[in-house]
Amino acid sequence: MSPCPEAVTAGAARRRARAVSVLGVLSLLLALTPAARADSGGLAAPAPPCAPGWLCGWTGPAYTGVVSLVAQDMPRYPETTAYVGFNDAASVWNAGRTWSADGLRRGRCVTVYNKPDYTGSRLTVRPGQGIPQLAASFGHVRSSRFHTCRLS
C-alpha cells in the first residue's frame, strides 16, 4: 500500500522548509562571522576572505552583509544587485597582488571614489588592506580604478 499523495506532498514540503531554514541559519552565521586577523600588520581581514585579485565591497561594517566583487576599473557601478556591496558599501577590501621588481615592492592598489567617473572624494586601498568602516562623510563607492603602486 503506497502513502496517499497528500502525505507525500506534506512530507516533501516539510523537508524543503527545513532545508531553507538551515540555509538561512548558515547564511546568517556566515554574515556575522567576526573578521579574522591578517598575517601582515595585524590588519582586520574579511572572513571569509575576498578572492585574490579582486576588490570586495560589503553592505555592512567590518566586512559583513552582502558582498560584491570587481577586478577591473569601474567608472560607475550600475544600480543592480550584482553591485549592491559597492552602491551600499560600508566596508571594502583589496585582495590585489604584490610583487618585487628592481628592489622595490609594488602592488595592485585600488582607488575608490564617492562619485561616478573617478570624481569626488577618493580613498586608496593598498593590496591586502581594507577599510572596515567607510566614513559617513564619504558615502558609498560610485567608481573605482586599479593602478600599480609602490609599497616600499
Report which residue type is found at 78.
Answer: P
Same domain, residue pair 18 and 61: no
Taking only the tens place, the pLDDT of each residue in 63-80 is 999 999 999 999 999 999
Query: Which CATH number fits the domain that encloses residue 52?
Result: 2.60.20.10
| Average pLDDT over every residue of 138-151 | 96
Same domain, residue pair 7 and 70: no
Domain residues for the domain of 28 are 1-32
Asked if 148 contacts 107 with a C-beta cutoff of 8 angstroms, the reply is yes
| Greater model confidence, 62 or 6 | 62
| Greater model confidence, 134 or 32 | 134
| Cα–Cα distance for residue pair 147/55, rounded to 1 Å | 12
| Greater model confidence, 41 or 10 | 10
* 106 class by beta-carbon count within 10 Å (0-12 exposed, 13-18 middle, 19+ buried): middle
Same domain, residue pair 66 and 42: yes
| Greater model confidence, 123 or 14 | 123
